[in-house]
Structure 1
C-alpha cells in the first residue's frame, strides 16, 4: 500500500512539474525564432529533446529533475551568439555542440567530483537561495503582480488586472492546500485556477495553429550544425561562455534542488550528454529546469517524476494548442511558493562571518537582478576568494576555487566589453 502511495505521489509530482515548465513548449520557439529557427519546427525540437532528457535522467540517474531547453540559455543563443556575434543559427548550433562536449568531458570524469567537493558550503546554500529568489521573481512576473517600473527597475503591477487577482486567488488556494499537506495540492490548484481562468478569459493569447500532422517538415532542423566558423577566435570564445553557463547553471540547480545528492553525479552526466543531442535536434541546450523544484516540493524523490513529465511532453505533441489554455496565473503561485521554500537554505549561512555572508548576498541578489544564474554565480565566486585574501586566509581556499573565480571574471569581462 505504501509503495502505491509513493508511486501516486511521484506521478502527481511529475504532472505538477510538467505544467510548471510546459510554457517552454511555446516560449522557447518564440525566442529561437528571433535567431532564424522556424517556430513551427522549433516546437517539435523543444518537445523531442525534453522527452529524451526527462526519460534519460529518470531512467539512468533516477533523479526527479525535468530536462528542457533553458530560458537563460535560449536568450544567450539568440541574442548573444546569433544577434550580437553575427553567427547564423546553424553556426550557433555548432557552438552549442562543442559547449556540450566540453560540458560532457567535465561531467563524465572525476573533474565533476572535484568541482562539487571544493565549492564552499556557503556558496552552495547561496546558489539554492538565489535560484529560489529568481523563481519568486519569475512567478510574480508570470502572475502579473510585478512589472517593469517607470522610475524603478520593478514595481507593483495594477491589482485591478484580472490576471493579478487570479494569481492572488491561486496563491491563497495553493498555500492552503500545501499547509494542509493535501496530496497533489499544487496540481489541484493549477487545474482549478486554469479552469477559472478559462471562464474569466484569462489565457495565453498565443494559441498555436499547429498539429502532429506538421511533423514531417521537422527533418529540416535535424543535424544542421555549420562547422565553417571553427577557425575563428570568436567561435571559441562563444564556446567558452556557453560552457561556463551550462556547467555552473547545472551545478547550481542540481545542488540547490536535488533532494538526494547521491544522484547528482549521474544527473550531471546525463544532462551533459542530452545537451549534445539538443544541438543535433535543432534547438538550444537543455538545462535542469528550476521548475523541477515544484515537483520536488510536491513530494517527488525518484526518477518516476521525470519519466512522468517526459511522457506528458510526448502527449503534448497531440495537444499543443491546448497548452495555451493553462493560465500563467495558475502556474505562478506554485513557482512563488517553491522559490520561497528554496530560500530557506539561507538559514545555514554564517551571517556573523561577513566574508561568508557577503559573497552569498551578492550571488543571491545578482541572479534575479541580472536575470542570469551564471552571472550571479560569477559575482559569488569572484568575491568569495577576494574576501578571504583580505583577512589573511588565502591559504584556506582551494586552488580550484581561485581558478573558478578567474574564469568567471574572464567571462564577465568578455560579456561586459563584448570582446568577441
Structure 2
C-alpha cells in the first residue's frame, strides 16, 4: 500500500467515525442496511440450491454464502466506505455450476480453483492502473445503458418474484395468475411501498417489506422452505473450506473457463458499481473490496461474490456511507442463527422494493443521446439483452462490441480511444469463448 492509499484509508476511517456521531445519518444508514439485506436475503437460500447442482452440499454452502457476504460487506464498509452489498452473484454462480461443472465436466473443487485464479487476476486489475484505464474507457452513453439495463433486469426479477409475469405458452412471457394469494400480496405490497415512497416516508422500503411480510404470515403465504440446516452443521463446514483443485491448471478447459469468469467478474462488477454508486469517487476502493472478497469466496467454498444489484434498494433508502454495508453484513452474521426464519419473508414482500428500485435506475435513459444512432443503439443492446438473457455480462459484451463498430461505420473512429478498442476486443473474445464452452 503506497502513501496515497494509506492517506485515503485514514480519511475513510475519519469520515466513517464522523458518520457514527451523526444520529440522523445513523438512523438512515441503519434502515438502508436492513432494507438492502432483506432485498438480497434470498441469496442465502437460492445460491446454495444452485451450487447443489455442482455437487456442493447445500447444508454447507449456506454457511459459505453467509460468511462470504458478511466479510464482503464489512470490507466494503470499512475499506471503501461505500453503501454496496457484496454477495455471491446470481449470474456468476450459474456460470460456475452449469457451464464449468455441468457443461465442461469439471468438479466443483476445480471450479473453485478456477474462481480463485480468475479472482486473483481481478485483484491485480483492481489494485493497478488497469482499473482506471478500463473505467475511463467506458463511454458515458454505455454507462447510462448499463445502469438502465440493470434497472430493467431488477424490474424483471421483481415481477417474477411477485408472480406477475411467468413463462408464456405462446409467448416468451405472459401475465401471471392474478388470483394467486402470493400475487395479490405482492400487488398490495407494491401499492403500499409506492404510497410510502411518494410520501417520502423515511424507511418506506423497509416498512413495506415488514408490513407485507406480516400480512403474508397471517394469511399463511410462504415460499419454498429454507435448506434444512441449523447452526450446529457448521462443524462440518471444513469439508468445503479451501478445497480448490489446481491439478489441471494448464489444461485448455481450465484456462478458457478462467478467461470467461475473469471477464464476468471484472466487467459485471465494474458495470454494477458504475451504475449504482452514489459517489463515483469511491469506485476504486469499492472495486478493490469486491475483488478481494471474490478471491476469498473461493477459499470459503462458494462461487465468486459481486456487488449486488439490490444494493440500489439500500441506496434509494438513503444509504450513502459504509455504515449501510456494515449493517447489511451484520445482518448476514445474525442470519446464521435464524436461517429457517428467512423463509418467512416471502418473495412477494421483497418484489415491490426491487421493482421500484429498478424503475428508478431506468431514469438514466434520459442521459443517452437518442438523436445519435451510434450512441444509443449500443446502449439499447445493453438495456434489452441484460434482462432478456438474464446475464449482465452478455448485455455488456454486445454493447461494447457494437459501439466501436457503429462509430467506425459512421466515419467517427476518431471518437474511439485505445481502451474502447481493447474492451470491444475483449468482449468479442468472451462471446466467442462462451459459444465454444
TM-score interval (norm. to shorter): over 0.9
1:373 aligns with 2:392: yes
Deviations 1:38-92 (A, max 9, x none): 0000000000000000000000100000000011111110000000011100000
For residue 125 of structure 1, what is the aligned residue in structure 2? 144
For residue 265 of structure 2, what is the aligned residue in structure 1? 246
Pick aligned residue for 1:82 from 101, 104, 111? 101
Q: CA-atom RMSD, angstroms? A: 1.0
Q: How does 1:289-328 map to 2 (within 5 A)?
A: 289-328=308-347
C-alpha distance in structure 1 between counterparts of 2:421 and 2:217, whole Å: 53
Q: How many residues align?
A: 418
C-alpha distance in structure 1 between counterparts of 2:86 and 2:406, whole Å: 36
Pick aligned residue for 1:234 from 236, 250, 253? 253
TM-score, normalization by structure 1: 0.98
Q: How does 1:100-249 map to 2 (within 5 A)?
A: 100-249=119-268
Structure 1 unpaired stretches of 5+ = none
Shift of 1:116: 1.1
Deviations 1:296-316 (A, max 9, x none): 000000000000000000000
C-alpha distance in structure 2 between counterparts of 1:59 and 1:128, whole Å: 25
For residue 76 of structure 2, what is the aligned residue in structure 1? 57
Pick aligned residue for 2:33 from 11, 14, 24? 14
Shift of 1:2: 9.2
What's the secondary structure of 1:198's corresponding residue? helix
C-alpha distance in structure 2 between counterparts of 1:305 and 1:2, whole Å: 15
Deviations 1:167-198 (A, max 9, x none): 11000000000110111110001010001111
C-alpha distance in structure 1 between counterparts of 2:360 and 2:109, whole Å: 40
Shift of 1:214: 1.2
Shift of 1:395: 2.2
1:71 aligns with 2:96: no
C-alpha distance in structure 2 between counterparts of 1:161 and 1:56, whole Å: 41
Structure 2 unpaired stretches of 5+ = 1-19
TM-score, normalization by structure 2: 0.94
Deviations 1:133-192 (A, max 9, x none): 000000000111000111111111111111111111000000000110111110001010
What's the secondary structure of 2:80's corresponding residue? coil
Pick aligned residue for 2:58 from 19, 35, 39? 39
